Structure 1
Amino acid sequence: MSEYKQSTEQIVEAIGGKENISAATHCVTRLRFALKDESKVNKNQLDSLDLVKGSFSTNGQFQVVIGQGTVDKVYNEMVEMTGIGQASKQEIKDAAAQNLNPLQRAIKTLADIFIPILPAIVTAGLLMGINNILTGPGIFYGDQSFIDVHTAWKDLADIINLIANTAFVFLPGLIGWSAVKRFGGNELLGIVLGLMLVHPALLNAWGYAEAVQEGTVPYWNLFGLEVQKIGYQGQVLPILIASYVLAKVESFLNKRVPDAFKLLIVAPITLLVTGFISFIAIGPMTFAVANALTEGLVAIFGNFAALGGLIYGGLYGLLVITGMHHTFLAVDIQLIGATGATFLWPMLALSNIAQGSAALAMMFATRDEKLKGLSFTSAISAFLGITEPAMFGVNLRFKYPFIAALIGSAIAGLFITMNKVKASSIGVGGLPGFLSIFPDNWGAFFLGMAIVLIVPFAATFTIAKVKK
């Protein structure tokens, strides 16, 4: 490992010395630091090192891109050199959280809840995309779908649809597991709580509006108190609040119940108390709030589509910098659960492509071999949905590629919202994103994709050549 000793020393020096490191770990390609004072980082010195492919700060962590296969060797060298103990990713997150303000901590909490369930949601989105291709009319045969012509494929498509929908049908179970775990409770109780809110014995949330009109909403009569007997399929807020309550009730009981009786008392009372509170108060109140927010958002984009697309499409890249984009993951899921589609996620997919296009332009414009390599790899990453390397390693570093990407994304956002492009699910936020788009919207989405491929690339390349 001695071949990395000098480079490791230079990295440590550039981030403010070992005294500035609270904790450090690494992932597949990056060193991750919780620093005491990020203002002590000499970013120009750091990015000039041959071993460093880029660096950026996000969610209280300072990350240095090294590369797969090399990063673990550099990390081990650094641990030996500085004497800092090896830390887990969770320990780094906890240490980095001390540098966050209340708003950032709230956003981080949402990210900690939704990111662990993202693989299930994205997988469901991709499978729903395959189902859309098989069942969408006009893709292969005029006004008929593939399964209309090839009927032997119909049951296969039906099974794919069932597998894809499972994550959304039992979404509160997934959120319950992740949220209760994040709030410090027993995640298995979180799963039970989430599944309780979508129990088959309850009126399905998607049939609630019709039941209200017909006057057929079922009720429990609790000694004179009428409680609506409805489920919360596709809802985000009810399970989030209920999970927090469950974790706090469980923690309260764990501190007071003797160990010998915990198995008999803590879990049953926790579920009973949280369940009653959820159906009596949390569910009805958050259900009304969530529906009001959904209707308000739909109304805004319905009446001011061009303005909404221009603003959200143009600002999404800035949301990524602040970490606030994680907040809109919950909004997308809520929209899909309440209306069956989201008009926000398609703009996310195009924003990612725009950042990749701007980074790719830098590869062709620069003569710096190191920057060429970083620009190419980060562009590929952005085209596949991961934009941080392109944004923090290339685009923000030179500023004008980032601005070019925002402009391209804004124009594309305006165009696709005016054409009412919607996604049936959350998928891979890049070039494969079309799989999550309703087939009827593919034409407009592909034109939006052309905009974010051409505009950021042309603008970045032109400015780079002018600046030489």
Structure 2
Amino acid sequence: MSSYKESVGQIIDAIGGEENINAVTHCVTRLRFALKDEGKVDKEKLDEIDLVKGSFSTNGQFQVVIGQGTVNKVYNELVAQTGVGEASKDDVKKASESNMNPLQRAIKTLADIFIPILPAIVTAGLLLGINNILTGSGIFFEDQSLIEVYPAWADIANIINLIANTAFTFLPALIGWSAVKRFGGSPLLGIVLGLILVHPDLLNAWAYGEAKAAGEVETWNILGLTVEKIGYQGQVLPVLFASYLLAKIEVFLTKRVPEGIQLLVVAPVALLITGFASFIAIGPIMFAAGNLITDGVVSIFENFAALGGLLYGGLYGALVITGMHHTFLAVDLQLIGSIGGTFLWPMLALSNIAQGSAALTMGLLTKNEKQKGLSYTSAVSAYLGVTEPAMFGVNLRYRYPFIAAMISSGIGGLFISMQGVRASTIGVGGLPGFLVIDRGFWAFIIGMVIAFVLPIILTFVFSNFKKEK
């Protein structure tokens, strides 16, 4: 008999019974439910179960934190008790979509596209961070970089930079792979589409402005239509829309072309139509739209840096609750591709640090051993870039730690925005975030101190105020 039988029975009862479960799977630490009605969940009863370290709802899924090494055993017992068949993460995602409104579905689509490529982006970011430390002036020596003082390190830094830049040079291929897969097409065709958009024979997108001003942009003449021969390096929107078109054409043809000649017809026709459409219409239109978004965001922070930093830094935690933070990942990548860096991502890092410090403080304040353990482990997780356990398992439960974290990250965001802090890429959104800062390095370090210390002070103050009331 499973040693978790009683606790699993209590979990099933607390989430509304087995009849309330559409599908369930698990990740490294959590059970992930697609429930028919989340209103039937008794959170107080659920939180009292010894096995449960926290719970929260996000993206149409109700997630119960169990812990690494235990969750798989609990999941097996849950499947045995409920009779619900084992499900994959994709099964649960599909089942959970019925709980979402159109905006949530759109945000989830972006998340499904960008989250799978995050490991490559973050890895590239960390390597670029190492390169920044080696090549950035004023970090170790006044007005000089490390490789200027020690030239023997120059080629090492150059190779590191080449390895790190590959993910961003071929970003459309990564997005194409993930997007076409999400839209129901062949991921391999998505990779090919992305590579088409950054082919070496095309004018590099980063050189387009200069070439346009000089009148040196090469063109194609397609039946009398003049089409600029440019690539879309670092661009997000062109490959997203092109991937959607490619996937839909592929699915359409696959259903109608006899199986014996699909290899000769489906992929060539789908790529040809999408390729022509990309260079003639999708690319130019989305390139212009991406530049408008970039110019708009840059303009806000150039003219209202303090306000922009205060609002984005302070409200980022609220965006995580709604899932809308995934939308800004695309904006970050667009900024990196257009202006060579992002001033939004550093505020994300400060928000994560602030949530971690608020959770850490709750671990010091609470006398509940179970809650203390959850607070400490979730704080470490937040400091390393994953805030959901800290936010949903600790800070939102007591409310005032979450408010303390938002105030602190808002003040930190205000400070680093006024100082013009910028990251060269996306890195680990927490304490290691300093590695990718290429402008305002020491200002960001001060921002990190604010985000680390101020939530601790405010959470202590708010807790005393709550006791007095």
TM-score, with length taken from structure 2: 0.99
SS at structure 2 position matched to 1:461: helix
1:177 aligns with 2:177: yes
How far residue 149 of structure 1 moved from its aligned partner, in angstroms, is 1.6
1:411 alignment partner AA: I
Q: Partner residue of 1:331?
A: 331
Q: Partner residue of 2:412?
A: 412
Alpha-carbon displacement from aligned partner over 1:406-453 (angstroms, at most 9, x marks no partner) = 000111111100000000000000000000111x41211111111111
Provide the C-alpha distance between the structure 1 equivalents of 2:451 and 2:133, rounded to a whole number of angstroms: 24
Q: Partner residue of 1:460?
A: 459
Contact conserved, 1:35 with 1:96, CA < 8 A, in 2? yes
How far residue 212 of structure 1 moved from its aligned partner, in angstroms, is 1.1
1:187 aligns with 2:187: yes
How far residue 141 of structure 1 moved from its aligned partner, in angstroms, is 2.3
Provide the C-alpha distance between the structure 2 equivalents of 1:104 and 1:466, rounded to a whole number of angstroms: 36
Q: Partner residue of 1:295?
A: 295
Number of residue pairs matched?
467
Which region of structure 1 is more displaced relative to structure 2, 142-151 or 374-383?
142-151
Contact conserved, 1:364 with 1:461, CA < 8 A, in 2? no
Q: Partner residue of 2:401?
A: 401
SS at structure 1 position matched to 2:301: helix
Q: What aligned pairs does 1:315-354 form with structure 2 within 5 A after superposition?
A: 315-354=315-354
Q: Partner residue of 2:272?
A: 272
Alpha-carbon displacement from aligned partner over 1:97-123 (angstroms, at most 9, x marks no partner) = 111110000000000000000000000
Q: Partner residue of 2:447?
A: 448
Provide the C-alpha distance between the structure 1 equivalents of 2:255 and 2:83, rounded to a whole number of angstroms: 37
SS at structure 1 position matched to 2:99: coil
Provide the C-alpha distance between the structure 1 equivalents of 2:34 and 2:177, rounded to a whole number of angstroms: 27
How far residue 465 of structure 1 moved from its aligned partner, in angstroms, is 3.6
Provide the C-alpha distance between the structure 1 equivalents of 2:159 and 2:221, rounded to a whole number of angstroms: 39
Provide the C-alpha distance between the structure 2 equivalents of 1:77 and 1:269, rounded to a whole number of angstroms: 49
1:200 alignment partner AA: P
Q: Partner residue of 1:34?
A: 34
Q: Partner residue of 2:282?
A: 282
SS at structure 2 position matched to 1:98: helix
Q: What aligned pairs does 1:8-157 form with structure 2 within 5 A after superposition?
A: 8-157=8-157
Q: Partner residue of 1:377?
A: 377
1:209 aligns with 2:202: no
Which region of structure 1 is more displaced relative to structure 2, 137-146 or 447-456?
137-146
1:198 aligns with 2:226: no
1:389 aligns with 2:389: yes
Q: Partner residue of 1:222?
A: 222
How far residue 140 of structure 1 moved from its aligned partner, in angstroms, is 1.9
How far residue 343 of structure 1 moved from its aligned partner, in angstroms, is 0.4
Provide the C-alpha distance between the structure 2 equivalents of 1:187 and 1:83, rounded to a whole number of angstroms: 34
TM-score, with length taken from structure 1: 0.99
1:107 alignment partner AA: I
How far residue 466 of structure 1 moved from its aligned partner, in angstroms, is 4.1
Provide the C-alpha distance between the structure 2 equivalents of 1:81 and 1:261, rounded to a whole number of angstroms: 48
Alpha-carbon displacement from aligned partner over 1:196-215 (angstroms, at most 9, x marks no partner) = 00000000101111111111
SS at structure 1 position matched to 2:184: coil
Provide the C-alpha distance between the structure 1 equivalents of 2:140 and 2:429, rounded to a whole number of angstroms: 25
Alpha-carbon displacement from aligned partner over 1:32-58 (angstroms, at most 9, x marks no partner) = 100000000000110111111000000
How far residue 219 of structure 1 moved from its aligned partner, in angstroms, is 0.3
How far residue 144 of structure 1 moved from its aligned partner, in angstroms, is 1.6
How far residue 251 of structure 1 moved from its aligned partner, in angstroms, is 1.1
Provide the C-alpha distance between the structure 1 equivalents of 2:383 and 2:10, rounded to a whole number of angstroms: 32
Provide the C-alpha distance between the structure 2 equivalents of 1:75 and 1:196, rounded to a whole number of angstroms: 44
Provide the C-alpha distance between the structure 1 equivalents of 2:223 and 2:68, rounded to a whole number of angstroms: 63
Provide the C-alpha distance between the structure 1 equivalents of 2:190 and 2:73, rounded to a whole number of angstroms: 39
Provide the C-alpha distance between the structure 2 equivalents of 1:372 and 1:431, rounded to a whole number of angstroms: 22
Alpha-carbon displacement from aligned partner over 1:135-156 (angstroms, at most 9, x marks no partner) = 1112222222111121111111
Alpha-carbon displacement from aligned partner over 1:371-408 (angstroms, at most 9, x marks no partner) = 11000000000000000000000000000000111000
Alpha-carbon displacement from aligned partner over 1:341-393 (angstroms, at most 9, x marks no partner) = 10000000000000001000101111111111000000000000000000000
How far residue 252 of structure 1 moved from its aligned partner, in angstroms, is 1.2
Provide the C-alpha distance between the structure 1 equivalents of 2:274 and 2:321, rounded to a whole number of angstroms: 36
Provide the C-alpha distance between the structure 1 equivalents of 2:450 and 2:213, rounded to a whole number of angstroms: 44
Provide the C-alpha distance between the structure 2 equivalents of 1:456 and 1:152, rounded to a whole number of angstroms: 43
Provide the C-alpha distance between the structure 2 equivalents of 1:402 and 1:138, rounded to a whole number of angstroms: 36
1:305 alignment partner AA: A
Moved over 3 A (4+): 465-468
Which runs of 5 or more residues in structure 2 are unaligned? none
Which runs of 5 or more residues in structure 1 are unaligned? none
Contact conserved, 1:227 with 1:280, CA < 8 A, in 2? yes
Contact conserved, 1:362 with 1:464, CA < 8 A, in 2? no
Provide the C-alpha distance between the structure 1 equivalents of 2:2 and 2:90, rounded to a whole number of angstroms: 29
How far residue 318 of structure 1 moved from its aligned partner, in angstroms, is 0.4
1:467 alignment partner AA: K
How far residue 463 of structure 1 moved from its aligned partner, in angstroms, is 2.2
Which region of structure 1 is more displaced relative to structure 2, 71-80 or 169-178?
71-80
Provide the C-alpha distance between the structure 2 equivalents of 1:140 and 1:53, rounded to a whole number of angstroms: 43
1:255 aligns with 2:291: no
Using the aligned pairs only, state the percent identity: 72
1:429 aligns with 2:429: yes
Alpha-carbon displacement from aligned partner over 1:68-118 (angstroms, at most 9, x marks no partner) = 111111111111111110101110111001111100000000000000000
2:210 alignment partner AA: E
Provide the C-alpha distance between the structure 2 equivalents of 1:451 and 1:154, rounded to a whole number of angstroms: 34
How far residue 2 of structure 1 moved from its aligned partner, in angstroms, is 2.6
SS at structure 2 position matched to 1:380: helix
SS at structure 2 position matched to 1:22: strand
Provide the C-alpha distance between the structure 2 equivalents of 1:262 and 1:225, rounded to a whole number of angstroms: 31
How far residue 467 of structure 1 moved from its aligned partner, in angstroms, is 3.3
Alignment RMSD (CA, Å): 0.8
